[in-house]
Structure 1
Amino acid sequence: MRDLRDTYPQAETFTFGDSRALCDQLLALVLSGRKTATCGALRDFEDEGEAMPVVGRRDIALDWDGRGVALIETVSVEMKRYCDVDADFALAEGENDSLDGWRADHRAYFERNGGWSDDMMLVCERFRLVDRADK
């Protein structure tokens, strides 16, 4: 399997999730076409944190071992409070079959990674799959 970092050396890189199992699950959803959105806490992008997504930018999603697996292109970015995320966006994340399931899973994720509140600001990104390492 080729490493997309060799093909797209200028692209930003990131890893989905906070564990190998979650990373593997989310990458599989991206590669299947089911996951076309993701979100993160705004606090993780502030003070020299992660690079803020920008419409048109292409990023490489890495596996847990740092290999480039999927090249995605950002198609929209919105700031929303956690409590304002709607079912359309939640289902586009591909991880759950309902808004309630999304809320439960994302609340647990944010609680593990810096804290959660109903009014916390999220960076909500929609993307499209452009290339994949297994192609």
Structure 2
Amino acid sequence: MAKDINELIAELAMQGIHLPEGFVRIGEFGDSESLSESLIRLILAGEKSGTCSLVWSWEFDGETLPKVADIDIVLDWHERPVFVRRATEVQIVPFRDVTADFAASEGEGDRSLSYWQAEHWRFFTEECKRIGRTADTSMLLVCERFEVLHKLG
């Protein structure tokens, strides 16, 4: 990621946006420009309030797992800040145990668990290739619910 977190925090402060206390990181959504745009659109419309990621990816990248109250300055595919979010709930859940309620909170497709499973299996299979792992239904996911604190731009 080319953006520096302290630089982004300073830019926001110059716009009158002061972040609450807590751990702040740079975030992004999707593994392609079109998916990123689609997910950001869902979030900004208030239709998406959940997201998940692979525990193995956090470990592979040497990053700290998200926790409640963490703040993300979310960038679009072109590394422009688009919103600030705060984690309101974080659970570590095996892929096979993700609930229909959580799948619906992700706001994608028809919001069904079967849609969520198909799309996320594709996504996590690709992510596992990147980190040298093999996807299976017991792989642990970080399931987060969040709130948008500030819309930017």
2:122 — aligned with what?
Answer: 108
Determine whether 1:13 maps to 2:26.
yes
Amino acid at match of 2:118: A
Displaced runs of 4 or more, over 2 A: 8-11, 47-51
Question: Greater Rg, structure 1 or structure 2?
Answer: 2
Per-residue Cα deviation, 1:104-125 (whole angstroms, up to 9, x for no partner): 0000111111142111100101
Structure 1 segment 1-135 matched on structure 2, within 5 A: 5=8, 6-7=11-12, 11-97=24-110, 98-114=112-128, 115-134=134-153
d(CA) in 2 for partners of 1:105, 1:117: 14
**Structure 1's 101 and 47: CA in aligned 2 closer, same or farther, altered over 3 A?**
closer
Extract unaligned runs of 5+ from structure 1: none
Decide whether the 8 Å contact of 2:93 with 2:141 is kept in 1: yes
Q: What's the RMSD between the two structures over aligned residues?
A: 1.9
Supply the distance in 1 between the matched residues of 2:64 and 2:74 (Cα, whole angstroms): 13
Classify 1:53/1:21 alpha carbon distance in 2 versus 1 (closer, same or farther; 3 Å): same
**Larger RCO, structure (CA 8 Å, separation 6 or more):** 1
Amino acid of the structure 2 residue aligned with 1:104: A
Q: TM-score, normalised by structure 1?
A: 0.89
For the Cα contact (< 8 Å) 1:35–1:92, is it kept in 2? yes
8 Å Cα contact 2:57-2:127 kept in structure 1: no
Aligned length, in residue pairs: 131
Please, which runs of 5 or more residues in structure 2 have no aligned partner? 1-7, 14-18, 129-133
